[in-house]
Amino acid sequence: MQSQTLRYMSASWRSATSGLCGARSGSTGIRGIRSTNLQTGVAVWPRLCSSSAPGHLDPSVKQKKLFTPGPLGVSMTTKQAMLVDLGSRDEAFIRIVRSVRDELVDLSGESRDDLTCIPVQGSGTFAVEAALTTSIPRTRPSVLVIANGAYGHRLAEIVNALPETGSCVKLTFPEDQPMDLDEIEGKLLEMGRKLTNVAAVHCETSSGQINPVEDIGKLVAKHAPQASYFIDAMSSFGAVPLSLSAAKAEFMVTSANKCLQGVPGFSLVFARMNALRRCGGNSRSLSLDLCKQYHGLEQNGQFRFTPPTHTILALHQALKELREEGGVEGRRKRYQENSEILRSSMAKLGFEELLDRSTDKSYIITSFKLPNHPNFDFKTFYSALSSRNLCIYPGKVTAAECFRIGTIGDLHASDIHVLLKAIEDVMKEMDIPLPLQQ
């Protein structure tokens, strides 16, 4: 039956694209493949349509290579998977949703009897809020958020929006420094048995830091075993090894459009079955109630509200490509290679990283300090790279003026070299000698 579904999808895609841009019957309607001009450092991407064709894409909108932590670039085959229209109650779609949910639990390394995956319409923050508002009790909540960056602070902001909590306890560490496990243990001992929930971020993408969420979970289990432990693994799940069992975590969230290399449109909550059963009636939201979302999916395989059908089809394809790459370990190797090429080459150019060697850095994204040169202007730098179809990210920390470069998504070593060549060229245009003198 699954092969019939795939044949149907393939045939539907051929039918859908046969008329695009005046393409002949049986052709894809997609012109060219990605190439890069190593001399100019300009990335060249395929165009779906020509400007003279009916229904063409806006010719002013160009494909860009995204060196960002999300939204990020995905493969052409993942994009093609969305060229199929399926109804929300279509049997083929229901089977695909079930397959995606099961495969994601398998990817976590946990048992399907113990853990479930609940897709939530919306960005990653929707999943974070769904998990927190569902897991935090209505009566006498006591929440500890451990933060060292913008996304940790967002957890506290979400908790503080709940009427019963008033304010949560936020244990804050510097953005450019690792979390102190001794200090965390001290706070857990102080709050002890009154704690109901503890939350932390695995990869803090505002800086690129990896936090010791497994060690934190062990401390929570030791000193506050009654507390529900939540991990934000938004930009790490699928490429950075993480054991939910070792972390003693009951809830974890991630996005379809991070290391899984799907497209934006929905996010994912992983929940322990025994924890989810305790949470009925907790949610302060109709659409973000994980218990009701789970029961609806289990009862008839359907979402309670309009599902993101096309983006789920994209993730279904993206998970196939993740398997073909070698799973979490295979993807980790590619991302790590990307990161190592970037960091070593940027160091040779004189750029300084935000995080020092004592910090557990991720290979997801790297923060670089802005050059201390009178000719450097980030807006000019950013725009010059963008004009070459290369997109980086501005900084998101308060400790220093930075910019960020992501090394995840459909990025490969050749793409990193193109970006590095472009950076050299732009710095030359800005009349800034390399290597930089900090």
Alpha carbons 267 and 255: distance in angstroms, whole number: 4
Q: Is the pLDDT of residue 374 over 60?
A: yes
CB burial of 111-148 (b: ≥16 within 10 Å; e: otherwise) equals: eeeebbbbbbbbbbbbbbbbbbbbbbbeeebbbbbbbb
* CB burial of residue 233 (10 Å; 0-12, 13-18, 19+): buried
Model pLDDT, residue 389: 97
pTM of the model: 0.86
In sequence order, which residues have a C-beta less than 8 Å from that of residue 34 and are 6 or more positions away?
43, 44, 45, 46
Output the six-digit token pair for 201. Answer: 């971020």
Give the type of residue at 17. T
Mean pLDDT value across the chain: 88
Query: Are 360 and 269 spatial neighbours (Cβ–Cβ below 8 Å)?
Result: no
**Rounded to the nearest 5°, which phi and psi values hold at 82?**
-85, -5
Q: Is a pLDDT exceeding 50 seen at residue 70?
A: yes
Of 160-174, 220-234, 286-300, the range with the lowest mean pLDDT is 160-174
pLDDT, one tens digit per residue, over 135-150 is 999 999 999 999 999 9
* AA identity, residue 90: D
The pLDDT assigned to 164 comes to 76
CA distance 202 to 81: 30
More confident residue, 59 or 13: 59
Tell me: pLDDT of 190 over 60: yes
Model confidence pLDDT, tens digit, residues 257-268 = 999 999 999 999
Q: What is the mean pLDDT of residues 409-429?
A: 98
Assign 302 a pLDDT band (cuts: 50, 70, 90): very high
